[in-house]
Chains A and B, each alone.
Chain A
Amino acid sequence: MPFYQSISEILSENRQDVAGIGARTAKVIEALDGLGRELDATVFLDPEFSQDQAQSVATGDADLPLFGVPLAHKELYGRNTKAAIWPDEGGSKSCKGQLAKKTATTIDKLDKAGAIDCGRLVSVEYALGVTGHNAYAGTPKNPWNRDYVCGGSSSGSAAVVAAGIVPGALGSDTGGSIRLPAAACGLVGIKPTQGLISRSGIFPLSASLDTAGPLTRSVEDGARILSCLTGYDSTDAMSIKAAKIDYTEQMEAGLHGIKIGLAERYFLEGSDSDIADMIARLFDQINQLGAAGSDVEIPGIENTNPLNVLLIASEATKVHGNKLKDIHSDLNAQTLMRILTGAFTSETDYSRLLACRADYIAKTLPVLFDKIDMFLTPVWPFALPTIENSDVGSNPAAAALVQKIGHNTRPVNFLGLPAICLPIGVDKNGLPVSAQLVGKPFSEALLIRAARTIEREICFWDRRPDSVANAG
C-alpha cells in the first residue's frame, strides 16, 4: 500500500498524534515487506528494532527535524548498535553473512534527528553498476513500468521512494549512483560536494569519489534530509569543515540573479536528440523565469568520464583486491572485470591519477564558475532501457549501451561538485526524464533553490506510477 506523503505532511500528523508513530512505522514495514519485495527492492527488515525506535522517538522531542519520519536506506549503510547489528553484504554474494562493524555517521545523524530506520534496500553489487542488475540481491523493478530498469547503484532506494512507501532514502554516488536511479524513477537526487557528508560506516567503493546523499520525491524533502546529514567527521579522511546550513531556508527565493550555463558540447551533444531537446527547452523556460542563461564550454570534460572509471576501478581494487582469490567466483562478471582492470594501476599511476584530478579541478573550476553559478545537463543520455535489454550478463551486446549511461554523471564526480537532479517530463515510453544542475563546491543551497523553482513550474510531484497507485 503506497502512502505518497511528504515529510512535512508526516511531521504535521506525527506532532498532532504522537501515538500514531508506531502504527505508521508498522504500515511502512508492511509495505516494504509487501510492495517493496514485489519490486525486488527490499533486502532487510528488522520490525522489532524499528518499532522500538518508533516508541522511543514518540516519547521524545517533537521538534526534531525528522520526528517519527520513516526512512529506509541503501544496504551499504551500516547499523551496529547495542539494539541491532544489521547485515553489511554490499549487495554481493561474496559478503554473504557479513555484519556491519559500525553505524554509519549519516545513520546516527538521522537517528538523532528523530527518523525511524525501517530497513535496508537493494544495491548493485559493491555499488559498481548503473542499471540496477543484481543476480544475488535482486534487480529492482521501476515502479513506473516494471519492465524497465531503476538505474543503479542505489536502485532499491529509488524503487521504494518512487513507490511512495517512504518519503526518502539514502543512496551513494561515485559515478552517478544517486542521480541515475533518482532520474529513472522520477525523483529528486542530491549528490553533495565531496567532503560535505561523512562516508564513515558506509560500505566503501572509492575513497576519493564516494559521496552520500538522499533520494526523495520533492526538492523540499531532499533539503530537509540533507540539512540533517552535514557536519565534519574526523573518522572520514575526506570530510571537510563546511558551513552548517538549513537548506530549506532560501528554497523559495526563485531564480532571479542565478546565472545558469548550458553545456551543449559533450553533455547535450552526447545525449539523444529527444533528451537534449527537452533540456534545451527547459533552459529557455528557466531563462524566462528570471535566470541569466549562457552557453558554457568545459575544455577537457570528455576525459573526465574515462578517468573517473579508472579511479573507481583502481580504488575498488585497493578495497576488495586483497580477497580476490577467495571471492572472485562469487562476483558477477562486470564487478570482477572492474576490479581486475584496477589491478593494473601501479602506485605511480595511482599517484599521477590523483595529481591529474587535482590539477584539472584547480584549472577548470575558477574559469567555469567565473561567469555562471551552475550548469544544466541531462542525467540519462537516452531513454531508459528495459531490464532485459540492458542485462549484460545475458546479453553481452548490451555492454556498449551500459557503458554510455554514466556519460553525464561521472564528470561531476571527477570534479567533486554538488549536483541535484529532478524530473522534468516523460520520454516516448512514458518513463521519467530528468535534468541535472551542477554547482560550485558547497553551493547546495543555491542548487536547491533553483531546483525548487523548476519543480514548482513542472509540477511532477502529482504524477504517480499507475502500477503502484493501483497496488494494495
Chain B
Amino acid sequence: MTFSLLRARSTAVWLTLVAVTLVSWALGEDHGVGSTIAVVVLVLAVVKVRFVGLDFMELRTAPLILHALFEAYCIVLWMVLTGMYLWL
C-alpha cells in the first residue's frame, strides 16, 4: 500500500537530492575564501531548489506562467548569489 505509492518520480528525485546534498557537503566543508568550490556548491543548491519546486511542489505540471516564474526565480537567485560571491 504505502510502498507502491513510493514507487514514483518523487522518490527518485528524493534520492537525487540526498546524493547532491552529500556531494555538496563533501565539497563545501573545507575550503577557503574565494574558491571555485563555493560556486559549485551554489549551483548544486539551486539545482536542488529546482527539483523541490518542479517535482515536490508539482510545478512541472502547472500552468506555464507558474512554472516559468519559478524557473526565473531559480536563475535570478543563482546569478545574484554567484555574482555577489565572485565580484563583491
- Is A bound to B? no
Seen from chain B, the residues whose Cβ lies within 8 Å of a Cβ on chain A are: none
Seen from chain A, the residues whose Cβ lies within 8 Å of a Cβ on chain B are: none
